[in-house]
Amino acid sequence: MASVRPYLHSPRNNNYIFRAGSFIFRLAVPIPHPLKRRSFCSNASPSRLCLPCSASLSNMDSVAGQGLYPLHRCKTLHVVRHAQGFHNVAGEKDHDAYLSYDLLDASLTPLGWEQVDNLRKHVHASGLSKKIELVITSPLTRTMQTAVGIFGGEDYTDEIDVIPLMVENAGNSGRPAVSSLNQPRILAVELCREILGVHPCDKRRSISEYKLLFPAIDFSLIESDEDILWKEDIRESNEDVAARGMNFMKWLWTRKEKEIALVSHSGFLYNTLNQFGNDCHPSVKSEMCKHFTNCELRSLVFVDRGMIGSYSTTTNYPGKVPHGADLPSDFANQKQHLENESKA
């Protein structure tokens, strides 16, 4: 049988047209897609290759591991775990110590206060202290001591006409009173407490008692004076902590402040932050979600991808002000001609 050769080729779609006697037929040869090749993707280690992600040209930024978001749909969250508490020391020696009522609402150790002082120096040296608009704290002694020590004012004196953030020797700390003068508001929120139940160190005291120790902290969002969340015989599951954390994050987005500090606990932070970062490279997720050490600070960008917020931008500019029709091209050409003549 004689061979049949194409007499027409369309390179655009790689089609070949053949003629055999009185018959004409077409053969389409698939063109390899430029994206369908082995490449690195965001859910694989850079040390090995993986099969390509099912991505289109419209989401190539996610394949590349980058993204853009409007600034007014972002917040900066400066996350801090409380400094070393007496329960941390006892629990490292014997885990059963967490069951002791001697550690009820544990306060900071002398080393913990040293950690607070070091982080305070960093916050001021980095300029972060001038940016933070709101400090949110878990309503337990160790977190409130940490929040006040890092983000509060200088030593309090009676000559200053403001109430102190913390009175002298609060929680048997041996520390002087701390001023609230010209400092960001500190707001106590129940949702960001440590894992609830069984461990007395995670049980809070009455709000009435806290108000005497921390007069300038805002407890207005806490409805019950006594702790009705902590149960002696039921320990909150990690799944429930994560769900509580997500509710906290949803509430946080309703705040108008853009630079917020959060002082909380290891268990709460770990379970909450692990709900995020699944679309990141594993090393980025680990950087964001791994367990916090005492008095560690991490700054994170909190992004609204679902139009949750209703705040308008303060930095975008509409352009073309005043509004009006664009100049016709013949006017632009005439203007260019006059400019050329003036240069001649």
Distance CA 178, CA 214 (A): 9
Task: Clarify whether 281 is annotated catalytic.
Answer: no
Q: Which residues pair with 186 in a beta bridge?
A: 135
Distance CA 68, CA 21 (A): 59
Encoded amino acid at 79, one letter: V
| DSSP designation for 128 | G
Q: In whole angstroms, what separates CA 321 from the centre of its chain?
A: 36
Encoded amino acid at 255, one letter: R
Neighbours of 295 (CB within 10 A): 26
| DSSP designation for 51 | P
Q: Of 82, 87, 199, 265, which is the active-site residue?
A: 82
Classify each residue of 208-229 as buried b or exposed e, where b means 16 or more C-beta atoms within 10 Å of its C-beta: eebeebbbbbbbeebeeeebeb
Burial class (CB in 10 A: 0-12, 13-18, 19+), 337: exposed
Q: Of 78, 87, 190, 194, which is the active-site residue?
A: 194
Classify each residue of 123-153 as buried b or exposed e, where b means 16 or more C-beta atoms within 10 Å of its C-beta: beeeebbeebebbbbbbbbbbbbbbbbbbbb
The answer to whether 164 touches 186, Cβ cutoff 8 Å, is no
Task: Clarify whether 159 is annotated catalytic.
Answer: no
Q: Which positions are catalytic?
A: 82, 194
